[in-house]
Amino acid sequence: MHPLMDAQLGAFTFFASSLPHDVCGSNGLPLTPNSIKILGRFQILKTITHPRLCQYVDISRGKHERLVVVAEHYESSLNDFHKQGSPVSPEKVLQIAYEALEGLEFMNKHGMVHRAIAPHNILMDCKGNVKLAKFGLYHMTDHGADVDFPIGYPSYLAPEVIAQGSFHPSDPSHREAPLPSGPKTDVWSLGLLLLELCVGRHLLQSIDISERLKFILTLGCMDDIITVLAEEHGCLERVKELPENVLALLRKCLTFSPSKRPTPAELLRDPVLEGVARLYTPFVKPVGLFSSSLRCAHLELPDDISELCKDDGDDYLAERSIDEVYYLWCLAGGDLEKELTNKGIIQSKPPVCTLPNFLLEDGESFGQGRDRSFLLDDTTVTLSLCQLKNRLKDVAGEVYFPLLEDEQSSLPHSISSNELSAAVTLPLIIRERDTEYQLLRIVLFDRLLQAYPFKKNQVWREARVDIPPLLRGLAWAALLGVEGDIQAKYDAIDKDTPIPTDRQIEVDIPRCHQYDELLSSPQGHVKFRRVLKAWVVSHPDLVYWQGLDSLCAPFLYLNFNNEALAYACMSAFIPKYLYNFFLKDNSHVIQEYLTVFSQMIAFHDPELSNHLNEIGFIPDLYAIPWFLTMFTHVFPLHKIFHLWDTLVLGNSSFPFCIGVAILQQLRDRLLANGFNECILLFSDLPEIDIEGCVHESINLFCWTPKSATYRQHAQPPKTPSDNNGFSKASSCFSPDFQDLPKSDWSREPLKLSDLKGEVSPRISVEDFIDLCELSGPAHFKTPTKRTKSGKPKILALDIRSSEDFNRGHVPGSINIPCSTASGPDGELVQTAVTSTLLGFRGRVIVVISHVMKNASMFTAHLVKANYPRVCILDGGINKMKPTGLLTVPSPQI
């Protein structure tokens, strides 16, 4: 979106027509409210950006089907000329005509028709250029079908519009909606409006509506419509004085027969406008982030760089884009309904006065007077930016232009921003509501994303702090490494040909996050279907599993106007976190995943794990929807966003930690309850504190040795060929374990049945050496160094017999021989172990043995005795031997 500059924000409101009571759709589900349909259709308008059109910014739904639309706005309109009362000069008329036609042509290209052209909807910016307002009303209301009021103004309606009739809900004889109007209707309206400008007075305003409309229809029999109109209003003289090209233009516009009337596009290229056309350069759409052409291709720097800074005003806010300004306006306490109420546009009666008297069993109500406050008043109210500017008056100018090359810190060092950096420690919810902080973050992310993929690493670093909600869609795309001409790729996918999965998709979509207005709108459903189909069609080895719809939801919501990006993000997300989850037979993948998950529960919370195992409440019963949908099935969207903000930074084993963190929040209730209650509890998951969950899962992640979550069915490491320097993700906490090159000391795949038999996870030798901070051989590739604090402390516990131990062991390890620690039935002798382990509370216990079976039994006992963070060294001591790191204790003297 283009910068605000001298524009203002305007809001107007209208009501969608209410649905008849208790009517179901053809699929048996309740009908979608008209306001939601409009809301869905509105979204595309946000992408229609043209210098001659008022940019649409936002729509919001109020009570009782009220809609409030926010758009770019200017105080002056063509009505100002009428207030002056004198005719407008022919040159000015031609300029207005040309500019308006430019706007109309652009709309038509996007399949839209204005239909509501009137002097007060043609605004003028400060330079006197035309800006068409309310151009999307006809589109968003489905050609007027979703609202009670007719779209357009009686004096300016084209004859064919009148002839096609009006649809009125209270009129039972007229059920069928009129046909949609074409682009040429706008040309008539424009013509009449130009004529008014030429003669300097309103036409047809004085007679009542039905007479006016009849008069317009009779114009068909006239030879010279302009003369007739002028005579009718006694201004024939003025018309006669008009230059020939203006008259010709008017005649073309006011052609009665639609087939002979030119379209806006034809009129623009018409010789009558030739003189004006020369003054204008055609509008070129700026190149977007993901495109095949070079974004900086047309960048021309002046020879003298200082020229760039010359025309800088003080109003930096005005240089931000309109949607950013509006977003900040809302954060600074802006309330649309309040603004409109203050101006008297929203007038509501107390509800107690509008109650019906009587209702039939089927819900039809009687005795309710028609409420005048539901009538249309389409006055646009200017939203005052004073409050926002006041709020931001102390923000230093540097904040608007952060230096990206400063590697030290992302935050500029000024006094005010020191306060802002203190804000980083505040809870996320508060940060997201803080105007100054969001301004800072938005500016920063906007710059970084514009420099994507060059500044990819910095995006990663900043995303660790937080992601501003306004730019979340793009930020995620950057974090997921989406690149290239995604639109072309998406266009090339066949999303129309029916496929067998269609039926299932059709069933699932109306059940997926439908509390959300956007996703429940018909437009949302269409987009859902297309993105899902595109994914299914382009991944022939994978299939649609229920849950894919939920997974798609956050991407679609964030990139509602950019299906290609939603699709690209989803396609990047799934292999990263859900590799092969969508195979036709995915049982081995899921089974392994769940087994690792239960090992993680045992690792972090043995008490809970013991209880859950005792009552038989295994992850298979509840965790499949969690992981298959990456929690999108269980949480509402706003929680998913916060969860995923961290998830997309983590590697593929991060979800385990989230799962454990969720269980821990419900810990008390789970421990107190038996199987049935637990099933009931999880059938409708209670409220989860997401920020707490995120913190806890990061904490858990730091305590988890990387190789503990090894899965043989995880995504195989990328081959170096597609690592072209950039695509290697620098993960938040550590690179994905699976991405590391395989070596002899990595973990080896285990049979599923064996894996299931082990309560505690195994860790690899490699990981063990790293954690023990043993100096490895030179060729040994240590993964990226973690800071010391982030590294879990480790306790190596050798359970071999003491003779074996003395023959050679890992430095720093302690020895509790398996034989002494376990009783006759294999029970753990408490005293023997506790006395030893007491001194090492909170450390990760790595059990080392030479028979894996012994180790796994021993750990099982430790877990049973509620020892947290117990794991097994994969391969035992035998694998350690070749590293040459074993030491022999010096014989005691």
Enumerate residues 388-407 that contact another protein by CB under 8 A.
none
660 in Cβ contact with 869 (< 8 Å): no
User: Measured from the CB atom, is 262 or 783 closer to another protein?
Assistant: 262
Q: Helices in 509-653 by DSSP H: which ranges?
A: 517-520, 522-538, 548-558, 563-577, 587-604, 606-615, 623-628, 637-647
Q: Which two tokens stand for residue 396?
A: 């230093």
Nearer to another protein, 217 or 287 (CB): 217
Read off the amino acid at residue 331. Answer: L
Shortest gap between Cβ of 179 and another protein (angstroms)?
Answer: 5
| Three-state DSSP state, 768 | helix
Shortest reach from residue 495's CB to another protein, in Å: 6
Cβ distance to another protein smaller for residue 564 or 877: 564
Q: Can residue 288 be called a binding residue for another protein (CB under 8 A)?
A: no
762 has which bridge partners?
872
Provide, rounded to whole angstroms, the least separation between the CB of residue 386 and another protein.
27
Half-sphere exposure in the Cβ direction for 445 (13 Å, CA): 27
Identity (one letter) of the amino acid at 859? T
Q: Which of residues 115-144 bind another protein (CB under 8 A)?
A: 143
- Is the CB of 222 or the CB of 375 nearer to another protein? 375
Min dist CB 377 to another protein, Å, is 4
Residue of 99, 160, 339, 462 interacting with another protein (CB under 8 A): 160
* Cβ proximity to another protein, 270 vs 398, nearer residue: 270
Residues whose CB falls within 8 Å of the CB of residue 260, separated by 6 or more in sequence, listed in order: none
Residue 728 DSSP label: S
* Shorter beta-carbon distance to another protein: residue 64 or 718: 64
Least distance (Å) from another protein to the CB of residue 474?
22
User: What residues from 512 to 531 belong to the interface with another protein (CB under 8 A)?
Assistant: 513-516
CA distance 752 to 760: 14
Amino acid at 278: R
Residues from 653 through 692 that contact another protein (CB under 8 A): 664, 667-669, 684, 686-687
Structural tokens at position 824: 């006759």
Residue 13: phi and psi, rounded to 5, are: -135, 150
Name which position in 2, 174, 433, 785 contacts another protein (CB under 8 A): 174
Cβ distance to another protein smaller for residue 121 or 664 = 664
Nearest approach, Cβ of residue 247 and another protein (Å): 24
Q: Please select the residue that binds another protein; options are 149, 280, 400, 840, rule is CB under 8 A.
A: 149
Choose one: 19-27, 68-76, 237-245, 432-440; the region binding another protein (CB under 8 A).
Answer: 19-27
User: What is the contact mask toward another protein in residues 51 to 90, using x (rule: CB under 8 A)?
Assistant: ----------x-xx--------------------------
By beta-carbon proximity to another protein, the closer residue of 664 and 883 is 664
List Cα–Cα distances, 603 to 298, 606, 658, 682, 700, in angstroms: 57, 6, 14, 22, 10
Report the nearest approach of another protein to the CB of residue 540 (Å). 14
The neighbouring-strand residues paired with 795 are 845
131 three-state secondary structure: strand
Tell me if 429 contacts another protein by CB under 8 A: no
Least distance from another protein to the Cβ atom of residue 217, Å = 6
Which is closer to another protein, CB of 538 or CB of 712?
538
The residue whose two tokens read 């421990």 is: 671
Q: What single-letter amino acid sits at 98?
A: Y
Closest separation between CB of residue 597 and another protein, Å? Answer: 19
> Cα 181 to the chain's mean position, in Å?
34
Alpha carbon of residue 172 to chain centroid: 42
Q: Hunting for tokens 């806006």 — which residue is that?
A: 264
Residue count (the chain):
893
Q: Which is nearer to another protein, 160 or 196 (CB)?
A: 160
Nearer to another protein, 351 or 824 (CB): 351
| 24 DSSP 8-state letter | B
Give the long-range contacts of residues 580-584, CB within 8 A, separation 24 or more: 580/542, 580/713, 580/715, 581/545, 581/627, 581/628, 582/539, 582/542, 582/543, 582/544, 582/545, 582/548, 583/541, 583/542, 583/543, 584/542, 584/543
- Other CB atoms within 10 Å distance of the CB of residue 406: 11
The whole-angstrom separation of Cα 224 and Cα 419 is 71
- Residue from the set 30, 749, 812, 826 that interacts with another protein by CB under 8 A: 30
Least distance from another protein to the Cβ atom of residue 612, Å: 17
Q: How far is the CB of 272 from another protein (least distance, A)?
A: 20
Listed residue (869, 839, 845) closest to 703, CA to CA: 869
d(CA 75, CA 123): 7
Please provide the DSSP assignment of 572-583 as one string.
HHHHHHSTTTTB
Token readout for 843 is 């450390």
Q: Is the Cβ–Cβ distance between 184 and 263 less than 8 Å?
A: yes
- Taking contact as CB under 8 A, which single stretch among the options 331-339, 510-518, 711-719, 746-754 is the one that binds another protein? 510-518
- Euclidean distance between CA atoms 760 and 858, whole angstroms: 10
> Is 171 among the residues that bind another protein (CB under 8 A)?
yes
Q: Alpha-carbon distance 473 to 469, whole Å?
A: 8
Q: Minimum CB separation from another protein for residue 126, in Å?
A: 28
Pick the closer one to another protein by CB: 361 or 405. Answer: 361
Q: Which stretch binds another protein (CB under 8 A): 176-184, 425-433, 617-625, 844-852?
A: 176-184
Kindly state whether residue 777 participates in binding another protein, applying the rule CB under 8 A: no
Per CB under 8 A, 183 contacts another protein: yes
The least CB distance from residue 498 to another protein, in Å, is 12
Specify the residue, 257 or 390, whose C-beta has the smaller distance to another protein. Answer: 257
Minimum Å distance from CB 537 to another protein? Answer: 10
- Find the binder of another protein among 213, 254, 574, 643 (CB under 8 A): 213
Site for another protein (CB under 8 A): how many residues?
94
Amino acid of residue 646: T
b or e along 201-213 (b: 16 or more beta carbons within 10 Å of the residue's beta carbon)? Answer: bebbeeeeeeebb
Show the 3-state SS of 46-57: HHCCCCCECCEE
**Nearer Cβ to another protein (24/778):** 24
Query: What single letter denotes the amino acid at residue 13?
Result: T
Asked if 376 interacts with another protein (CB under 8 A), we say yes
Return the bridge partners of 870, or none. Answer: 845
Site for another protein in 705-724 (CB under 8 A): none
| Whole-number Å distance between alpha carbons of 441 and 747 | 41
Q: 602 to 661, contacts with another protein by CB under 8 A?
A: 633-637
Task: Report the site for another protein in 314-373 (rule: CB under 8 A).
Answer: 349-361, 363-367, 370, 372
Cβ proximity to another protein, 159 vs 334, nearer residue:
159
Q: Among residues 338 and 349, whose Cβ is nearest to another protein?
A: 349
Nearer to another protein, 312 or 494 (CB): 494
Q: Does 279 bind another protein (CB under 8 A)?
A: no
Scanning 180-188, 320-328, 745-753, 792-800 for contacts with another protein by CB under 8 A, the matching segment is 180-188
Contacts to another protein from residues 217-256, by CB under 8 A: 217, 220
Q: Please, what is the minimum distance in Å from the beta carbon of residue 381 to another protein?
A: 14
Tell which positions 441-500 bind another protein, by CB under 8 A: 491-497
**Shortest Cβ 491–another protein spacing (Å):** 4
Report how far residue 188's alpha carbon sits from residue 157's, in angstroms, rounded to the nearest whole number. Answer: 8
Q: What contacts 623, CB < 8 A, 6 or more positions away? A: 594, 597, 659
Q: What are residue 393's phi and psi, to 5 degrees?
A: -70, -25
Hey, what amino acid is at 437?
Y
- Minimum CB separation from another protein for residue 235, in Å? 25
Please report whether residue 211 would count as binding another protein according to CB under 8 A.
yes
